[in-house]
Structure 1
Amino acid sequence: MTSSALFVHAEGADWISPEPGVTRRIMVYLPEMMMVEVAFEKDAVGAAHSHPHIQASYIAEGSFAVTIDGKTEVLKKGGSFIVPPDLVHGVKALEKGRLIDTFTPHRAEFLK
């Protein structure tokens, strides 16, 4: 997929596994924004981390314990959260689930 793709079919995106029980695929991106689907097995953890990008996430399936800047809240399907730049954040899947993450600007390291 190139950054100029305006339409991306699900079968055109490759899945990678950045952490045990976690897989992700880039759905679409431009330099200013990126959308990523992230699938979690039950009890899988998206380790605490930070980055300079703004991140907005939508819970498409399942439920997650989401921690942002030391505060944890449980969010279920249909919930969402936003992470300002450089705040430490992470998630734990309380059941099998999927997040749709949007980053601005795009995560160049995801393209390597």
Structure 2
Amino acid sequence: MSEQKLFAQANDGDVTVLAPGNTRRVLIHAPELMQVEFCFDEGAVGALHSHPHIQVSYVAEGAFEVTIDGKTAVVGTGGSFIVPAGLVHGVVALQKGRLVDVFTPMRADFL
């Protein structure tokens, strides 16, 4: 088994293009936890989806229309939201922005 990565720097990790104006970069992870950065151009969409992981998201920049289980709110810079496991959720970037998401357990599908 490889040694656990304990530190990550700003430019670590590969960028994956998910859709026009939407990218993902895994920052750091352990089997129980994963931190991921998502960047969005204004108007970009994080399509509605669900997964078995608990997710908590921090809006590092911008403003997002966030829908979780049919409920919608606008969350801006410095705000957060949580997505319980299995609920359908998605976002629309109301302005260029960046989300920092934490998942438990780790999203193996992102590696």
* Fold in common (TM above 0.5): yes
User: Taking structure 1 as reference, are residues 63 and 30 closer, same or farther at Cα in structure 2, changes over 3 Å only?
Assistant: same
Matching residue's letter, 2:14: D
Q: Give the TM-score normalised by the residue count of structure 2.
A: 0.96
Match of 1:22 in 2: 22
Change (3 A) 1:36 1:106: same
**CA deviation after TM superposition for structure 1 residue 70, in Å:** 0.4
C-alpha RMSD of the superposition: 1.1
Secondary structure of 1:5 counterpart: coil
Alignment gaps of 5+ in structure 2: none
Question: When the two structures are aligned, how many residues end up with a matched partner?
Answer: 110
Distance 1:44 1:80 in 2: 19
User: 5+ residue gaps in structure 1?
Assistant: none
How has the CA–CA distance of structure 1 residues 63 and 3 changed in structure 2, closer, same or farther, with 3 Å as cutoff? farther
**CA distance 1:3–1:21, shift in 2 (3 Å):** farther
1:5 to partner: Cα distance: 0.8
What is residue 42 of structure 2 aligned with on the other side?
Answer: 42
Query: Sequence identity, in percent?
Result: 60
Moved segments of 4+, more than 3 Å:
none
1:66-109, Cα deviation, whole Å (9 max, x unpaired): 00000100010001000000000000000000000000000000
- Summarize the Cα distance change of 1:6–1:67 in structure 2 as closer, same or farther, 3 Å threshold: same
Q: Please give the TM-score of this superposition, normalised by the length of structure 1.
A: 0.95
Return the letter of the residue paired with 1:55.
Answer: Q
Give secondary structure in 1 for the equivalent of 2:110. helix
